[in-house]
């Protein structure tokens, strides 16, 4: 198909119009002799016009004429508006009066920068340098001296119009690409919006699930308190062997259920990203002692030696999350006791690195128990994975504990791991960075060796104020206290507790948290301020009892002025041990 290129000739001299038009259109009627000679020279006699586009009949030009600079600018605008633009303009320089050629090119390029230009002149008012200065360096401008060489002019027109067309194609292609990219970007933006919405919905669902689980776990813990406590008391009575066995089964199932509830609560919180890591000053020694107290009870009935060594270079005071470190060590420790029948469990705390005010601490718990096969050692840190499913029946558990430890460690920027050999025990470790505020380290190594103490079996014999609104819980704690020789007074809420301490001196207050009329925190704060004002005789230790066993709750209890915190359901052994701990501390080793 023939191609038409639109060309504009701008010159005030009519004969130039005729010359150019004649040269550019002549090929359609007669072959230019110069061109034929050149053709023969280049391609030989057999050359044919098809292989030389300069003389091809495929290209023809539609030529328009302008005689002034202003007129040419108008015509270019008109052609663009009609959608039939000029590809090439032959522009004279001097066209008095009015706009000269260089000014006209400038005005045209301001709006249509891709039109090819040929400046034609016999002599110029402008040097080439001046033209470049005016129009800038460009590949769309050529210069042609009059009189014109017909072949050069034809060849120039052909190559410039072809160049213009290629540029138009590339512009169209770029526009098409840009349009496609824009469309795809639009689609992507829509997708991102949809994903965001889905993510928000999923996050909301997880949050609802987490709140539901938190509430349910609280609701389940309260009646569990009754079941576990009453069952413990039942086991203290005279039972036949069969009754005892059944009671023990109740206890085991209840313990497992409780563990499961705590694990699921923690796990769902972590899933919902709700579990926050605290950064508070604490003493490693206190955390370890706390863990050892609990582990000692867990090992009750097993002949295990439980010991601990804190290396001398471990800083006294560090900043981190003691509640979560305690939780990990408790999980390691109770697993160690669970999977060890003879030998012992050793806690070890070492300093790995100390730079500026941060140090890396390694906690490890080694046991002499059943050990874990190599291929299972990594697996067990994943959710719901147990090393040996055949032992689940014997040892119980959910397979969630170590997964929680691993995630907690990650939240604290730490790591967990295990070294173990089947039959030769396991060492579970945790390394975490902790802030060393004081840079003051103790000189001597501290060895804490825990052994089952006879003193623990002795009766307590204290006067206790029990603040609790739930009748079942009251009965449960009373039975424990009575059995151990304590006398007690009951207050049904915080208000009654505040009145009771005015009337009588107590050696200990056991304080529930959630109660009608006045809660445990407010009552504790009131009692502490009465003590500070000298209205009461001395300072009475107050121990919180609550089913909301969260770290936040523990923090609030301490803030209110409570000395200890015991989670519900109340475990008899733990309660007695904690009572001894706080009363000894506060009434001078009684
Ligand atoms: P659970 O103890 O509730 O099953 P964990 O995640 O705490 O869940 O432990 C996962 C598994 O890892 C356990 O079931 C047990 O097979 C293995 N395991 C953990 N600690 C020890 C240990 N000290 N000795 C032997 N096996 C262990």
The larger pLDDT score, comparing residue 246 to residue 447, is at 246
Tokens (6 digits) for 419: 């070294």
399 dihedral zone (left: phi>0; alpha: psi -120 to 50; beta): left
CA distance 114 to 112: 6
> If you average pLDDT over residues 323-331, what whole number do you get?
92
Distance set, CA 174 to CA 178, 183, 222, 348, 461 (Å): 6, 14, 70, 68, 92
Name which of 20-24, 51-55, 70-74, 237-241 the model is least confident about. 51-55
Tokens (6 digits) for 223: 């009646």
> If you average pLDDT over residues 295-304, what whole number do you get?
76
Percent of the chain with pLDDT over 90: 40
At 277, is the pLDDT very low, low, confident or very high (cuts 50, 70, 90)?
A: confident
Q: Which of 55, 65, 52 is nearest to 25 (CA)?
A: 55
The larger pLDDT score, comparing residue 296 to residue 433, is at 433
Percent of the chain with pLDDT over 70: 83
CA dihedral 340, 341, 343, 349 (to 10 degrees): 20
Q: Are strands 358-367 and 343-355 parallel, antiparallel or unpaired?
A: antiparallel
> If you average pLDDT over residues 192-213, what whole number do you get?
86
Instruction: State the pLDDT at residue 90.
Output: 95
Indicate if ligand 1 lies below 6 Å from the C-beta of 108.
no
Indicate if ligand 1 lies below 6 Å from the C-beta of 335.
yes
Ligand 1 atom with the shortest distance to the CA of 400: 6
Indicate if ligand 1 lies below 6 Å from the C-beta of 319.
no
H/E stretch holding 71: helix 69-82
* Average pLDDT of every residue of the chain: 82
pLDDT above 70: residue 53:
no
Instruction: State the pLDDT at residue 240.
Output: 87
Name which of 69-83, 490-504, 513-527, 537-551 the model is least confident about. 537-551
347, 380, 388: residue to mutate for ligand 1 pocket, most atoms within 8 A of CB: 380
CA distance 378 to 128: 79
CA distance 384 to 406: 13
SS (H, E, C) 457-471: HCCCCCEEEEECCCH
CA–centroid distance, 236 to ligand 1, in Å, is: 31
Ligand 1 atom with the shortest distance to the CA of 331: 7
CA–centroid distance, 391 to ligand 1, in Å, is: 10
CA–centroid distance, 124 to ligand 1, in Å, is: 96
Task: Provide the β-strand partners of residue 62.
Answer: 6
CA–centroid distance, 386 to ligand 1, in Å, is: 6
CA–centroid distance, 419 to ligand 1, in Å, is: 13
Dihedral sign for Cα 335, 336, 342, 345, please. negative
Indicate if ligand 1 lies below 6 Å from the C-beta of 426.
yes
CA–centroid distance, 381 to ligand 1, in Å, is: 9
At 471, is the pLDDT very low, low, confident or very high (cuts 50, 70, 90)?
A: confident
The larger pLDDT score, comparing residue 387 to residue 563, is at 563
Prediction pTM value = 0.48
pLDDT above 80: residue 161:
yes
Instruction: State the pLDDT at residue 137.
Output: 86
Q: In the sheet where 487-491 sits, what is the strand order?
A: 487-491, 463-467, 508-512, 542-546, 564-567
**Nearest CA, atom 11, ligand 1:** 386
Contact 544, 563 (CB under 8 A): no
Indicate if ligand 1 lies below 6 Å from the C-beta of 135.
no
Indicate if ligand 1 lies below 6 Å from the C-beta of 369.
yes
Indicate if ligand 1 lies below 6 Å from the C-beta of 291.
no
At 44, is the pLDDT very low, low, confident or very high (cuts 50, 70, 90)?
A: low
Identify which of 52-66, 143-157, 177-191 has the greatest average pLDDT. 177-191
pLDDT above 50: residue 453:
no
CA–centroid distance, 377 to ligand 1, in Å, is: 10
pLDDT, one tens digit per residue, over 119-138 is 987 665 677 788 888 888 88
């Amino acid at each position: 198909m023939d191609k038409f290129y639109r060309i504009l000739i701008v010159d005030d001299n009519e004969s130039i119009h005729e010359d150019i038009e004649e040269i550019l259109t002549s090929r359609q009627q007669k072959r230019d002799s110069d061109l034929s000679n050149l053709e023969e020279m280049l391609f030989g006699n057999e050359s044919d016009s098809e292989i030389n586009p300069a003389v091809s009949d495929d290209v023809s030009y539609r030529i328009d004429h302008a005689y002034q600079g202003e007129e040419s600018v108008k015509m270019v605008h008109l052609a663009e508006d009609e959608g039939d633009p000029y590809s090439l303009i032959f522009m004279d320089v001097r066209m008095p009066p009015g706009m000269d050629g260089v000014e006209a090119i400038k005005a045209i390029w301001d709006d249509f920068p891709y039109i090819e230009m040929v400046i034609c002149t016999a002599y110029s008012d402008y040097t080439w340098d001046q033209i470049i200065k005016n129009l800038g360096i460009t590949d769309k401008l050529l210069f042609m001296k009059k009189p014109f060489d017909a072949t050069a002019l034809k060849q120039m027109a052909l190559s410039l119009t072809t160049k213009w067309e290629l540029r138009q194609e590339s512009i169209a292609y770029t526009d098409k690409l840009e349009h496609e990219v824009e469309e795809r970007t639009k689609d992507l933006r829509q997708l991102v919006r949809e994903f965001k919405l889905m993510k928000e919905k999923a996050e909301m669902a997880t949050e609802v699930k987490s709140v539901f689980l938190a509430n349910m776990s609280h609701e389940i813990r309260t009646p569990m308190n009754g079941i576990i406590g009453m069952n413990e008391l039942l086991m203290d009575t005279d039972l036949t062997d069969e009754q005892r066995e059944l009671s023990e089964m109740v206890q085991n199932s209840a313990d497992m259920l409780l563990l499961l509830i705590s694990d699921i609560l923690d796990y769902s919180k972590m899933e919902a990203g709700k579990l926050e890591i605290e950064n508070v000053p604490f003493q490693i020694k206190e955390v370890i002692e706390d863990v050892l107290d609990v582990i000692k009870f867990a090992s009750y009935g097993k002949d295990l030696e439980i010991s601990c060594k804190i290396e001398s270079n471990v800083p006294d005071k560090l900043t981190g999350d003691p509640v979560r470190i305690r939780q990990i060590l408790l999980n390691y420790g109770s697993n160690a006791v669970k999977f060890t029948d003879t030998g012992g469990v050793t806690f070890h705390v070492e300093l790995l690195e100390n730079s500026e005010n941060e140090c890396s601490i390694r906690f490890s718990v080694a046991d002499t128990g059943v050990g874990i096969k190599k291929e299972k050692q990594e697996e067990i840190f994943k959710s719901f994975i147990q090393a040996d499913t055949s032992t689940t029946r014997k040892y119980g558990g959910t397979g969630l504990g170590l997964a929680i430890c691993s995630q907690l460690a990650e939240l604290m920027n730490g790591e967990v791991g295990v070294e173990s050999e089947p039959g030769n025990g396991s060492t579970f470790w945790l390394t975490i960075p902790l802030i060393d505020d004081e840079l003051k380290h103790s000189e001597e190594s501290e060895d804490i060796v825990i052994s089952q103490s006879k003193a623990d079996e002795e009766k307590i014999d204290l006067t206790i104020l029990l603040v609790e609104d739930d009748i079942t819980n009251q009965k449960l704690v009373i039975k424990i206290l009575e059995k151990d020789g304590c006398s007690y007074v009951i207050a049904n809420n915080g208000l009654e507790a505040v009145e009771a301490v005015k009337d009588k001196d107590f050696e200990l207050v056991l304080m529930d948290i959630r109660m009608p009329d006045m809660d445990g925190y407010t009552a504790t704060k009131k009692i502490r301020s009465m003590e500070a004002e000298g209205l009461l005789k001395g300072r009475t230790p107050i121990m919180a009892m609550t089913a909301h066993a969260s770290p936040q709750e523990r923090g609030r209890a301490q803030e209110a002025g409570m000395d200890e915190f015991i989670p519900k359901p109340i475990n008899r052994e733990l309660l007695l041990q904690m009572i001894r701990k706080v009363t000894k501390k506060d009434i001078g080793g009684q």
